[in-house]
Amino acid sequence: MKKVKFIYNPYSGENTILNNLDNVIEIHQRNGYTVVPYRISKGHSLEDAFYDIDESYSYILLAGGDGTVDSVVNAMKKKDINLPIGILPVGTANDFAKFIGIPSDISRACEQIIKYEPKAVDIGKINDKYFINVASTGLFTDISQKTDDELKNSIGKLAYYIKGIEQLPNFRRLKVKISSKEVTYDGEMYLMLVFNGQTAGNMKLATRADVSDGKLDVILFKATAIHDLLPLFIKVLKGEHLDDSKVLYFKSDDILIETDEDIVTDIDGERGPDFPVRIKCIEGGVHVRGIK
């Protein structure tokens, strides 16, 4: 019988996966798979999940949000494990899974992952860390890092909005230098996002992103007059912001970001490396099951 390594984060979202463990196992057994679980827990290295990985395993099944997927992909890269992954979206934010069309219903997601063969998709790399959905910097990018996990689990996305309002007094222009083959920008900004996926916090920003084009989608919101922000936000809601003069948008596979500002980088809700950072697209960097 084929085996599946099932890595799940019991703390993700509203602990949804804990009520679906039997469903995950039953559906896989019915389809000829033996499920070998590994529970992510504090004080234990995620690399321990892979101690028994060999040719008998068909794929890695992950249950968690984008941050959990990043952690697993980084552990797999470190140990040179090239098995396909399947994603069960049970985090507070599941932007990448939604982008590739994985259902939020766990049973349906399992059936889809089993049915559809692996497809190669791009991943991002910021300095020496990999990410699946988005790397960002600027204003409000560390909201997830500063939001208590218990608050996230109890009130979900509302926790992020509350923390965002708390940070409004820190609103300011930020000096940054961007270098790539396609574009050079040396000026002021409010926010910059580098997408492999399309959405951040369920907001669709990289409307032209393609997960298999070998490029990352770079979106920089230039520092502008405060009264221009509301019209720009309306364009964002309509998906018309990428052609606005107050937005710098381009695709690239290699971007260097430099700044002396006291800001951090964020990788799918987790703290990223310090500046300067080089962000690259790793074309076909991981194989994902369940994409129709």
Locus of tokens 């430099």: 258
pTM recorded for the entire structure:
0.91
**Dihedrals phi, psi of 282, to nearest 5 degrees:** -100, 100
For 179-205, write each residue's pLDDT tens digit. 999 999 999 999 999 999 999 877 899
Residue 288 pLDDT: 98
Task: Find the length of the chain.
Answer: 292
Which residue type occupies 242?
A: L
Pairing of strands 119-126, 277-288: antiparallel
Please, what is the Cα angle at 190 between 189 and 191, to 5 degrees?
A: 100
* Strand ranges in 78-235 using DSSP code E only, listed in sequence order: 85-89, 119-126, 129-131, 134-138, 174-180, 184-195, 199-200, 203-204, 216-222
Q: Which domains does the chain have, with CATH numbers?
A: 2-115 (3.40.50.10330), 129-284 (2.60.200.40)
**Dihedrals phi, psi of 120, to nearest 5 degrees:** -75, 130
Confidence of residue 161 (pLDDT cuts 50, 70, 90): very low
For 243-261, write each residue's pLDDT tens digit. 999 999 999 999 999 999 9
Kindly tell me if the per-residue pLDDT of 142 is higher than 80. no
Name the strand (E) or helix (H) holding 252: strand 247-252
Contact between residue 195 and residue 209 where contact means Cβ atoms under 8 Å apart:
yes
Q: Look up residue 182 and give its DSSP letter.
A: S
Structure tokens at 39: 């529970």
Q: Helix H segments across 56-105?
A: 66-78, 95-99
In whole angstroms, give the CA distance from residue 57 to residue 120: 18
Weakest mean pLDDT among 8-12, 142-146, 216-220, 238-242? 142-146
In whole angstroms, give the CA distance from residue 19 to residue 10: 10
In whole angstroms, give the CA distance from residue 241 to residue 205: 8
Q: Look up residue 170 and give its DSSP letter.
A: G
Kindly tell me if the per-residue pLDDT of 101 is higher than 90. yes
